[in-house]
């Protein structure tokens, strides 16, 4: 991989991790009913546009990059699959299990000694504990790593389908995702965008090396925002209720991915401070921020909500500042571990 593409993937991965934090910073839902329980027009508009709109490209982008990196320069032999799967065991499966266990222990301690919750993990059966660590982690963002590992195990089948039918698997997977048809073991979103990344690597590898023109950016960015605003104006809640709103939401994601990819070239091209920052923060920080931010963010949000009066100003302050606090904590902890516990940090970040 050349330096341009490596730098671009590193920075966009970090941006996607920040976006995921802001998706989970959304604070207008009632935690139990998952229905919008607080309404102020300005706060609602901002949080819907950012968390339920712009930032929703983050996880699809992660899957696209994962599929691309898995199949980049791929020979297709049995030994190549063995090597790739073995490496992903270290970079995906082991961190998944460790962070899932840490999240479970953290929530056990909080529920038992601080929150005094009636849902204390101490009341769970062994089967329930195993489920919360292995299948449905307490740190819910880890579903990404779970589904990604399943896709890695399915990679020989995906390779054959893409090799012999080119872009047809991606079209089928996109249809499943758009129509809300969910496979038995993985999310259709995960399958769709991992297959997209794999298809680019196997069929059009040079596509990601192209630096597109300002004209393309001026077309895609306004179109992306326009689709999101259309959805926000005509469908006040999230896209889950209406099938048509869901199609609009997913169309925005399909437009937003290339728009974000192109925007990088306009914002960062020939800016050396980007390289300096990436070198300083370390190659594993985007992954560390992603796995660390929950349940840390939820704890900060609950603490702030309990300590502050409930009004538009405090809701907006919590929404903006809670992710900033989480990112600063992640940055400090990451740098400290890199200096004093480098082996532990490498294991927790999959040797990134």
> For residue range 226-253, what is the model confidence (pLDDT) as tens digits?
999 998 888 765 445 678 888 999 999 9
**Given this model, what pLDDT does residue 62 score?**
97
What's the rounded mean pLDDT across residues 194-200? 97
- Express as a percent the part of the chain with pLDDT over 90: 60
pLDDT band at 288; cut points 50, 70, 90 = very high
Which has more pLDDT, 273 or 246?
A: 246
- pLDDT tier, 264 (very low <50, low <70, confident <90, very high otherwise): confident
Range 206-212 average pLDDT: 71
Question: How far apart (Å, rounded) are the C-alpha atoms in residues 328 and 176?
Answer: 39
Mean pLDDT, residues 99-103 taken together? 95
Q: Is the pLDDT of residue 96 over 50?
A: yes
pLDDT exceeds 60 at position 270: no
By residue count, the chain amounts to 352
Mean pLDDT of 277-302: 88
**How many C-beta neighbours within 10 Å does residue 119 have?**
10
**CA 33/CA 190 separation, integer angstroms:** 26
- Across 229-255, b (16+ Cβ under 10 Å) vs e yields eebbeebeebbeeeeebbebbbbbbbb
Q: Which of these ranges, 23-32, 144-153, 177-186, 238-247, has the smallest mean pLDDT?
A: 238-247
The pTM assigned to this predicted structure is 0.92
């Amino acid at each position: 991989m050349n330096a341009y593409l490596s730098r671009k993937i590193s920075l966009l991965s970090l941006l996607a991790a920040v976006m995921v934090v802001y998706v989970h910073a959304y604070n207008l839902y009632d935690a139990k009913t998952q229905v919008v329980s607080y309404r102020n027009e300005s706060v609602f508009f901002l949080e819907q546009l950012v968390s339920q709109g712009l930032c929703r490209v983050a996880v699809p982008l992660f899957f696209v990059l994962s599929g691309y990196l898995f199949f980049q320069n791929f020979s297709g032999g049995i030994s190549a699959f063995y090597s790739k799967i073995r490496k992903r065991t270290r970079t995906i499966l082991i961190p998944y299990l460790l962070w899932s266990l840490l999240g479970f222990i953290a929530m056990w301690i909080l529920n038992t000694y601080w929150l005094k919750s009636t849902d204390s993990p101490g009341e769970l059966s062994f089967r329930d504990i195993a489920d919360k660590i292995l299948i449905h982690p307490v740190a819910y963002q880890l579903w990404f790593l779970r589904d990604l590992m399943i896709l890695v195990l399915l990679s020989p089948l995906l390779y054959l389908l893409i090799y012999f039918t080119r872009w047809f698997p991606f079209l089928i997977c996109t249809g499943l995702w758009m129509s809300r048809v969910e496979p038995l073991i993985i999310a259709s979103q995960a399958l769709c965008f991992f297959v997209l990344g794999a298809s680019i690597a196997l069929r059009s590898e040079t596509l990601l090396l192209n630096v597109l023109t300002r004209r393309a950016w001026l077309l895609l960015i306004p179109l992306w925002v326009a689709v999101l605003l259309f959805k926000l104006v005509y469908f006040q809640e999230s896209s889950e209720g209406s099938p048509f709103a869901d199609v609009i939401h997913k169309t925005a994601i399909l437009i937003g991915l290339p728009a974000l990819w192109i925007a990088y070239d306009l914002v960062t091209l020939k800016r050396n401070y980007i390289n300096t920052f990436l070198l300083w923060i370390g190659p594993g920080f985007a992954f560390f921020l992603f796995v660390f931010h929950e349940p840390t963010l939820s704890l900060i949000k609950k603490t702030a909500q309990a300590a502050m009066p409930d009004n538009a100003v405090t809701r907006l302050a919590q929404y903006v500042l809670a992710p900033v606090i989480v990112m600063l904590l992640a940055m400090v902890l990451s740098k400290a571990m890199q200096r004093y516990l480098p082996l532990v940090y490498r294991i927790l970040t999959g040797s990134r």
